[in-house]
Chain A
């Protein structure tokens, strides 16, 4: 139906060859008009209800199938419509910056704290005032300045072949660079932000020089060139091309769901030292949002007990709200000690981490 409208609008547009007048811009003109009306207030009650139902615009680098069901549910419960576009975090940040105060966006939603840190650096978010979020989300999973909050947690951990590796051989991320893993390690590309954040955390713990030695150790142990995604790393381990790898937990969850007999298992490293590297998907409210109230409502709702288990569970992640238990499949992987360094560090050190990986020859 929506597409049908698109067709009609676009056909009208096409025939008139005036390309600016699309459904979207009309909407915006309307909302812009509403704002002006507010200034000359006539009937406050009517204005208020119009504003209460005002549509929330989300720019999301979290993929559509992971957000759509929840936005729909939110709309059902509150009557507030949510529209969104998805893209990589960097293009969305650039878009917000270029659009400036004219931006229609209210919320920026991304994966990886590095991206959220970058958004604060670009000055496109605003501090959120919400006791609900403050209560629901632990300190280490939020921006020191409250410009963003984590909503789900994922661990980047070690995965190994149950046939060829005794978990007692495994200890830490650092130790994957040791001689015993020569030709037995598989990794995803260093261009993925998850690996950049992991190395950023190594830099935070050990300093740049030591971190580079560790990464060089990994590169020396690689069984084959780095893969473009985590799933392929696990496929390679399953096929016997290598024995261990580093992946995000939910990718393992997806494979396990498809094939419960999969001969792979997760290992929680660094339990005696820094803890497992965790990262988040999270969101913040844009600096020029014209709909802060509703946007805050949506984020509060996503952090609530009601939404958390499903929202995280849908992608086999951990809820950011510590009161809420993960879904049973995720809980079955066991509990672990997580690295509690504040995640904005990952963003701060990311460029340095990329350089370290470049110098170590990690492609």
Chain B
């Protein structure tokens, strides 16, 4: 039985995770041709180009920022390095939908920037209009590049530096050593980081709607809200998933046979002093990223909190507690599910197991609402079946927190699985075998080999899922039950009405709580 258990559990996880896809796929049974031809003539070309432009912008900018900043703080010494190396992680605590309204609020008509320009005698023609692809790209890049930076920084600490130095000794030029050795060697790290960045970008609805920038997600909503066509909304969501599946495959290919991180401790660091014009420019660049991605938004939020102090609604603390509690619960369950997947993979590497593992994680790329509607329809389908059998028309599954927690787990399984799998990857089978030869029983191997060695991965997984659940908005909106409003829910209510100043209080709380796990993550990745 023991041998079959992981396979059975993995299949169950797989079945549950793809459950919300079923209503989406079923939608193809009914295609509204007339609506599709309308979309084709008016919107679809724009959606494709907008989405591609956004991916290209955010992907390349996150790569450049993430890799170069990681390189800068790992390889060089300069004043303020110790602050920057963790400061550059902090934007991760600010979700794109918050950064979006803060940056727009800052640069908008009547905002602080305009008032400043006015005070020095410049009119509104000097005001930059951020509502264009570059502005949207900037928002996503600033709040998501830390994924690349985080993974790249620890990869560089582990092996980038030593290989770079060896290459230099062997007579490679600086550029050649970097591009032909360091970048390929750290590929698993930056590819994994970029995949996270792009999936979040594709699935986002909040930020793009604040910018009124049309993407596949906004089109999904529009078909649903404006055309009342569930079918077309679901079909557009399928197209979006197709995009994302391609990204998943690209990541697999990009990561190659490498793992996230290889074993081996970082060498004691010797850092070169940063000098010359380039040195100054690099520092200015790094500080501007920190300022724009973190200092400016937090300052603006704090300013709004104070300026609208007497108007804030009460009960925000309750929202905070709900948010934290949901995040803790969801992170724990996600970790358990991820362990099943890792365990099954460890026990036996088969094509079907890795297929199930990979596709169980597709939820990360589904826009929250699409996922939530899928779950809602599936659970209610099951409910109605149970209700008929039991002859009791009450809610069985689609009630309480079950649906919401299920959505969190499906949505963020990928985030929890990654670190755990990479920790597992570092436990060489020979280590376990040796323990066995030395007489360690099953129990002992679990408690004295696996658990201690997996601990860093478990820790990272918990923290990352915690942060993500806290920030989650659309699925929370649709699946929560009464009494379970979160900070993100309040942020939606207020920001959708353009009351950005009032949004500042729940937003700053979300950022403040989000920073704690981010700081813990940084501490952990410091060697």
Chain A contacts to B: CB under 8 angstroms: 2-3, 6-7, 10, 13-14, 17, 19-25, 28-29, 32, 57, 63-65, 83-91, 94-95, 98-104, 118, 121, 189, 191, 193, 196, 224-232, 235-236, 238-241, 251, 350-351, 354-355, 358-359, 363
- Contact: B212 with A189, CB < 8 Å? yes
CB distance from A166 to the nearest CB of B (A): 22
Most buried by B among A17, A101, A354: A354
- Contact: B482 with A57, CB < 8 Å? yes
Complex partner residue of B483 from A24, A94, A121, CB under 8 angstroms: A24
Bitwise, B90-121 to A at CB < 8 A (1) or not (0) is 00000000000000000011110010000000
Complex partner residue of A90 from B109, B225, B496, CB under 8 angstroms: B225
Q: Which residues of B sit under 8 angstroms from A63, Cβ to Cβ?
A: 493-494, 497
CB distance from B113 to the nearest CB of A (A): 11
Identity of the chain B residue whose Cβ is nearest the Cβ of A351 in the assembled complex: B227
Identity of the chain B residue whose Cβ is nearest the Cβ of A229 in the assembled complex: B498
Q: Is B484 an interface residue (CB 8 A)?
A: yes
CB distance from A238 to the nearest CB of B (A): 6
Q: Is B423 an interface residue (CB 8 A)?
A: no
Q: Would A102 and B480 be within 8 Å (CB), given that A3-B322, A235-B108, A236-B109 are in contact?
A: no
Q: Which residues of A sit under 8 angstroms from B230, Cβ to Cβ?
A: 94
Bitwise, B356-375 to A at CB < 8 A (1) or not (0) is 00000000000001001100
CB distance from A40 to the nearest CB of B (A): 15
Bitwise, B398-426 to A at CB < 8 A (1) or not (0) is 11111001000000000000000000000
Chain B contacts to A: CB under 8 angstroms: 38, 41-43, 108-111, 114, 123-124, 129, 131-132, 209-212, 214, 218, 221-222, 224-230, 313, 317-318, 321-322, 325, 328-329, 332-333, 369, 372-373, 376-377, 380, 383-384, 387, 392-402, 405, 477-478, 480-485, 489-490, 493-494, 496-499
CA distance A13 to B330 in the complex (A): 12
CB distance from A186 to the nearest CB of B (A): 9
- Contact: B376 with A22, CB < 8 Å? no
Q: Would A3 and B318 be within 8 Å (CB), given that A57-B482, A85-B480, A86-B493 are in contact?
A: yes
- Contact: A231 with B499, CB < 8 Å? yes
- Contact: A7 with B321, CB < 8 Å? yes
CA distance A191 to B215 in the complex (A): 13
Identity of the chain A residue whose Cβ is nearest the Cβ of B308 in the assembled complex: A258
Q: A63-B497, A189-B212, A351-B228 are in contact. List 11 more A-B contacts (CB 8 A).
A: A6-B484, A19-B405, A20-B402, A25-B400, A85-B481, A88-B225, A90-B225, A94-B224, A229-B498, A232-B498, A358-B43
CB distance from A121 to the nearest CB of B (A): 7
Most buried by A among B209, B222, B226: B226
CB distance from A54 to the nearest CB of B (A): 15
Complex partner residue of B393 from A65, A90, A102, CB under 8 angstroms: A102
Q: Which residues of A sit under 8 angstroms from B333, Cβ to Cβ?
A: 17, 19
CA distance A207 to B380 in the complex (A): 41
CA distance A25 to B483 in the complex (A): 12
- Contact: B114 with A239, CB < 8 Å? yes
- Contact: B228 with A227, CB < 8 Å? no
Identity of the chain B residue whose Cβ is nearest the Cβ of A242 in the assembled complex: B109
Complex partner residue of B400 from A22, A65, A226, A238, CB under 8 angstroms: A22
CB distance from B307 to the nearest CB of A (A): 11
Q: Which residues of B sit under 8 angstroms from A227, Cβ to Cβ?
A: 212
Q: Would A191 and B482 be within 8 Å (CB), given that A102-B394, A232-B498 are in contact?
A: no
Complex partner residue of A228 from B124, B211, B225, CB under 8 angstroms: B211
CA distance A57 to B211 in the complex (A): 34
Complex partner residue of B318 from A2, A85, A189, A355, CB under 8 angstroms: A2
Q: Would A10 and B42 be within 8 Å (CB), given that A83-B483, A238-B110 are in contact?
A: no
Q: Which residues of B sit under 8 angstroms from A90, Cβ to Cβ?
A: 221, 224-225
CB distance from B20 to the nearest CB of A (A): 12
CB distance from A139 to the nearest CB of B (A): 25
Q: Would A95 and B478 be within 8 Å (CB), given that A3-B318, A7-B325 are in contact?
A: yes
CA distance A13 to B498 in the complex (A): 37
Q: Which residues of B sit under 8 angstroms from A2, Cβ to Cβ?
A: 318, 483
- Contact: B384 with A102, CB < 8 Å? yes
CB distance from A24 to the nearest CB of B (A): 4
- Contact: A238 with B405, CB < 8 Å? no
Q: Which 5 A-B pairs have the closest CB atoms?
A: A22-B400, A229-B498, A239-B109, A231-B498, A358-B42
Q: Which residues of B sit under 8 angstroms from A89, Cβ to Cβ?
A: 225
Q: Which residues of A sit under 8 angstroms from B225, Cβ to Cβ?
A: 88-90, 191, 193
CB distance from A88 to the nearest CB of B (A): 7
Q: Would A25 and B399 be within 8 Å (CB), given that A102-B383, A191-B209 are in contact?
A: yes
Q: Would A102 and B124 be within 8 Å (CB), given that A13-B401, A14-B329 are in contact?
A: no
Q: Would A241 and B124 be within 8 Å (CB), given that A98-B398, A232-B108 are in contact?
A: yes
Q: Which residues of A sit under 8 angstroms from B129, Cβ to Cβ?
A: 224-225
CA distance A225 to B376 in the complex (A): 36
- Contact: A350 with B226, CB < 8 Å? yes
- Contact: B478 with A91, CB < 8 Å? yes
Q: Which residues of B sit under 8 angstroms from A65, Cβ to Cβ?
A: 313, 493
- Contact: A191 with B226, CB < 8 Å? yes
- Contact: B498 with A230, CB < 8 Å? yes
Complex partner residue of A28 from B209, B329, B395, CB under 8 angstroms: B395
CA distance A88 to B369 in the complex (A): 11
Q: Would A191 and B212 be within 8 Å (CB), given that A65-B313, A239-B114 are in contact?
A: yes
- Contact: B108 with A121, CB < 8 Å? no
Most buried by B among A3, A83, A84, A104: A3
CB distance from A81 to the nearest CB of B (A): 11
CA distance A151 to B89 in the complex (A): 48
CA distance A21 to B489 in the complex (A): 23
- Contact: B212 with A102, CB < 8 Å? no
CA distance A363 to B224 in the complex (A): 17
Q: Which residues of B sit under 8 angstroms from A29, Cβ to Cβ?
A: 394
Q: Which residues of A sit under 8 angstroms from B210, Cβ to Cβ?
A: 228
- Contact: B110 with A359, CB < 8 Å? no
- Contact: B485 with A64, CB < 8 Å? yes
- Contact: A20 with B483, CB < 8 Å? no
CA distance A196 to B222 in the complex (A): 11
Q: Which residues of A sit under 8 angstroms from B110, Cβ to Cβ?
A: 235, 238-239
- Contact: A239 with B124, CB < 8 Å? yes
CA distance A4 to B229 in the complex (A): 41
Identity of the chain A residue whose Cβ is nearest the Cβ of B387 in the assembled complex: A102
CB distance from B329 to the nearest CB of A (A): 5
Identity of the chain A residue whose Cβ is nearest the Cβ of B499 in the assembled complex: A231
Identity of the chain B residue whose Cβ is nearest the Cβ of A186 in the assembled complex: B109
Q: Which residues of B sit under 8 angstroms from A98, Cβ to Cβ?
A: 376-377, 380, 398
